[in-house]
Amino acid sequence: MGHYKILFLDIDGTILKPDDTIEDSTKTAINKIKRQNIEVVLATGRPLHEISELAEELQITSFIGYNGALGIYEGETIFAQPMHPDDVKYILDIAAANDHEVVCYTHEKNYLTNLESESVLAFLKQFHLRQNAVFTENVIGKILGMTIITTGKNGESLYRFKNGIHLSQVNVGGMQHCFDVIRDQVNKGIGVEFLLKKLGIRREESIAFGDGMNDREMLVSAGEGFAMGNAHPDLFQYAKHKTTAVTDSGIYNGLKSLGLL
């Protein structure tokens, strides 16, 4: 059994099943890991102000949120990297010209280009986003992350980035037309590396589980990277291990394969 010190867990499709519940085996695995004095960190694309109930249920107090733009360790903010306003404006302009909607996340609230369209309402319901407002220019310097809700086929191809930004398809049923905006130098993997350095933990002492392409950098940065059985097909090549699906004790089985359970 390796001497592991930290575990990074994605939320949607990794901890949460499609019906938004958590398997008992997942809760058991997390509790047993914590009893071994292994740190557990939620690493998510979600805004952190919307996951307090989940965090409380799992008794987790450390996070990498907004796809790596904000890090919190035991209640203390350890890094924050808002997007450049020019990049935010570019995305908003392309979206407006093509009838796309955009969700912009700050540390306190979700700012949307529209609060009433069918696609937006479906997105808000899927991810239980409640602290919402219409986007205004005065928050453009506070944006930590963005999700684009596209229309039509290959709508994401309209966004042509030249400065270290790419789009990651949301790996949730019915939401494949949505794309997270990922920065090459601000992502879950960079967040993992920062936290490891801050805590003095070696890469080989870390474990990570994920299912979406926004988890790619995290799985590469961790010593033991697990792709869930339900992961996006393109993710497996970046993972050291493949475990079972989120509906089939994926986290539990992965940790068991390392001799931790």
- Tokens read off for 92: 């908003």
∠ CA 207-106-181, rounded to 5°: 60
- Tokens read off for 221: 């940065």
pLDDT digits (tens, 9 = 90+) for 90-144: 999 999 999 999 999 999 999 999 999 999 999 999 999 999 999 999 999 999 9
Distance CA 31, CA 51 (A): 19
In Å, what is the CA distance from 114 to each residue of 39, 138, 180, 217? 39, 17, 17, 31
Distance CA 43, CA 61 (A): 12
Q: What is the pLDDT of residue 153?
A: 85
pLDDT digits (tens, 9 = 90+) for 240-256: 999 999 999 999 999 99
Q: How many residues appear in the chain?
A: 261
Domain 85-183 grouped into CATH 3.30.1240.10: yes
Distance CA 134, CA 39 (A): 37
Distance CA 44, CA 226 (A): 15
**Boundaries of every domain in the chain:** 6-81+186-257, 85-183
**153 vs 199 pLDDT, higher one:** 199
Query: Is the separation of the CB atoms in 249 and 25 below 8 Å?
Result: yes
Q: What is the mean pLDDT of residues 62-88?
A: 95
3-state SS track over 179-237: EEEEECCECHHHHHHHHHHHHCCCHHHEEEEECCHHHHHHHHHCCEEEECCCCCHHHHH
Give the confidence band of 162 by pLDDT, cuts at 50, 70, 90. confident
Q: What percent of the chain has pLDDT over 90?
A: 95
Query: Is the separation of the CB atoms in 87 and 93 below 8 Å?
Result: no
Query: Is the separation of the CB atoms in 214 and 235 below 8 Å?
Result: no
CATH architecture classification, 6-81+186-257: 3-Layer(aba) Sandwich (3.40)
Q: Are strands 39-43 and 6-9 parallel, antiparallel or unpaired?
A: parallel
Q: Are strands 206-210 and 6-9 parallel, antiparallel or unpaired?
A: parallel
For the cut 80, the answer to whether the pLDDT of residue 2 exceeds it is no
Q: What is the pLDDT of residue 163?
A: 82
Task: Taking each helix axis as running N to C, give the angle between helix 24-35 and helix 250-257, from 0 to 180 degrees, rounded to the nearest 10.
Answer: 40
pLDDT digits (tens, 9 = 90+) for 174-184: 999 999 999 99
Q: What is the pLDDT of residue 152?
A: 82
Query: Is the separation of the CB atoms in 8 and 30 below 8 Å?
Result: no
Instruction: For the chain, count helices (H), then strands (E).
Output: 7, 14
